Amino acid sequence: MKKILMSLSLMLLAATGFAQVPFKPVEIDSAVTVSLPEGFTKKDTLGQSIYSGKTNIGYMVVIRQPNANNKPLKKERDLNNVMKDYIKGVKGQAEGSDALNARDTTIGHLKAKVFTLSTDQGAGVQLRNFIVIYTQDITYTFEYYYQQNRADLIKDEYKTFASSIQVSPELQRTDQYLSDAKGISPGLIGGVVVGVIVIGSMAFYISRRNRKLREQLES
């Protein structure tokens, strides 16, 4: 019994130690901030800024990457295509990789993509939680690396990291794509066509009936 209590105490102490890793706010640029572990490092290469920091259970990377092609996106579907290409590119970086739980979220006024990259090359499953924010000029990538067997341990720390991302209110959806118009869906077009046919048929029937009534009255 004493051994069990001692083991539980050690587990609680370990968990407490993990939770006490200090984080500090870091200004990525004038528009974006995030909290990273104290002692983080920064590296600037060819206009790209990479921030990295680690704790006992996870490793965080933030990348500020100027877009090679900063031509404005026209519509939301263009942004969706950019994100699909991004995920495809990340998956192609290592064999045995797959993107899991891809979904959209909102940070400030901006649309962001969230997903987890799972990589298994025979030495245990490595996981990377991604949050990606695309703007016309800059793509911001937030990554959290961890081992699959630590998935339960990292929950609070990852929440601290992810929820600390702050975006300037000056950044709007128009900094991602120009128009909120989603276009006319094929289903809606089909409904309009059917409606026009029905209305045209009714008008033809009513006109024909009225003509027959007039002929009967005049005869």
Burial 155-180 (b: 16+ CB within 10 A, else e): eebbeebbebbbbeeebebebbbeee
Residue 10 confidence (pLDDT) above 90: no
pLDDT digits (tens, 9 = 90+) for 30-45: 999 999 999 999 999 9
Mean pLDDT of 148-176: 96
What are the structural domain ranges in the chain? 13-175, 184-219
Q: What does the pLDDT average to over 157-172?
A: 97
Best CATH choice for the domain 13-175 from the list 3.30.1490.190, 3.40.1000.10, 1.10.3720.10, 3.30.300.130: 3.40.1000.10
Residue 129 has pLDDT above 90, yes or no: yes
pLDDT for the residue 218:
53
The pTM assigned to this predicted structure is 0.75
Let me know: does 73 contact 139? Beta carbons within 8 Å.
no
Give the per-residue pLDDT at 80.
Answer: 97
Residue with tokens 């006319």: 184
173-216 per-position pLDDT tens digit: 999 999 876 555 555 455 544 454 545 555 555 555 556 555 55
> CA angle 212-215-219, nearest 5°?
145
Mean pLDDT of the chain: 83
Could you tell me which residue, 92 or 61, shows the higher pLDDT? 61
- Interatomic CA distance for residues 145 and 79, integer angstroms: 25
What whole-number distance in Å separates Cα of residue 72 and Cα of residue 172?
13
